[in-house]
Homo-oligomer: A and B are copies of this chain.
Amino acid sequence: MSKINIYEQLAIKTDSKIIMLVMDGLGGIPLQPDGKTELETAKTPNINKIAPHSTMGLLEPVAPGVTPGSGPGHLGLFGYDPIEANIGRGVLSALGINFPLRHGDLCARVNFCTVDSTGKVTDRRAGRIPTDENKRIRDKILASIKPPAGVELFFETEKDHRAGLILRGKKFYENIADTDPQRTGFEPLEPVADDPQKGAQTVEILKDIISQIKKILADEQKANMVLLRGFAEYKAFPSIEEKYKLKSLALATYPMYRGLASLIGMDVDWKISSQEEQIEQLHKNYDKYDFFFIHIKYTDSSGEDGDFQRKVQVIEQTDAMIPHILNLKPDAFVIACDHSTPAKMKAHSWHRIPALLHSPLCRPDKLERFDETHCLRGGLNGYESKYLLPIAMAHAMKLNKFGA
């Protein structure tokens, strides 16, 4: 039995509560070698107040030197092995629009695009058509398309020029390359499998569907073609409740993170759109759940934009939420992130992630601040992300003793 599976035997249902606040992409590096990171720069009086009585550390999200996508980054935080549980973008996308996936469904992300009379892509986003226009085109496709024999086809509007394609009913092959040529002036690529023999049937089905859609959209001005990306088969995971006996609520404002939460069977609030509403729903639902996942997106997006100062501000705004969380007196309160997104790099990175665990039962680090440099000296330093939730469960008395 691997270490991460031992918890399925030890987990017990209790009344205690765990709250995990994920500041997406929180970890950073200094802009200059002798400078400070975003988190070191931010004024975080509320976190600083609990830091000395907490345990903290830099955690390894996937493996040394490996930069995680949002999927593996979050699955680690939810106590899943991020390599075993890796999932494709198409599945995340479908889950993000709350599509009721079934085991074996093949998912792809769709971009509507514009092609010229020779078939070459002139706009990879079809002029970013509005969502209503997207819905009209979706209906037009669904009204005329004839799914290949034995295949059930779903086509769902996501937002702007983005949609989701889901196929059901066959044993599909998922290792299919994107059809997006990644630049204008080129035709969309044919769907190609990495193993032509194993992928033959799936490729035939996709070619048929793409060619039908092309004909159906031929008279459109902007969205007259589709590009398919992130092919992935949906494999149902054991839910977080089966695995850890945690009835869980996700309070995230962005589709993908809702999708990730629903992938592991969390209940998802599909309506909230602000930090105030996250706090409000946390309080309203506090008696109904064991585990709460609160997701803050803008630490990551400001990092991706290379906006160091904006990222500092988002950290400071999030710090202001802390008293409204701690007044619930959770048995374990966790601050973490799925991966680092240094503003200097304008991208996700491999740098270990800062995490803090606050609980009446933690062995305090007695460190004055929560940031990367202090984390290095903390009691959680060097753990893999996937152990963070089990450790929080221990502090909330949700794990039985192992062995006699």
**A: which residues have CB within 8 A of B?**
1, 3, 6-7, 10, 29-30, 33-34, 37, 52-53, 58, 62-73, 82-83, 86-89, 92, 230, 232, 344-345, 348-352, 360-366, 372-373, 376-379, 381-383, 387, 390-395, 399-404
Given that A33-B53, A53-B34, A63-B3 are known contacts, is A68 also in contact with B363, CB under 8 Å in the complex? no
Q: Majority SS of interface residues in chain A?
A: loop
In whole angstroms, how far apart are the Cα atoms of A395 and B365 in the complex?
Answer: 30
Given that A361-B345, A363-B351, A387-B65 are known contacts, is A72 also in contact with B403, CB under 8 Å in the complex? yes
Number of copies: 2
Can you sample 16 A-B contacts with CB below 8 Å?
A1-B83, A7-B65, A29-B364, A33-B52, A33-B53, A33-B360, A64-B391, A65-B390, A65-B392, A65-B393, A67-B400, A67-B402, A68-B401, A68-B403, A71-B403, A87-B403
Check B67–A401 contact: CB distance below 8 A. yes
Check B350–A399 contact: CB distance below 8 A. yes
Residue numbers in B under 8 Å from A87 (CB-CB): 403-404
In whole angstroms, how far apart are the Cα atoms of A232 and B403 in the complex?
Answer: 11
Check A402–B72 contact: CB distance below 8 A. yes
Residue numbers in B under 8 Å from A393 (CB-CB): 65
Check A69–B29 contact: CB distance below 8 A. no
Residue numbers in B under 8 Å from A361 (CB-CB): 29, 344-345, 349
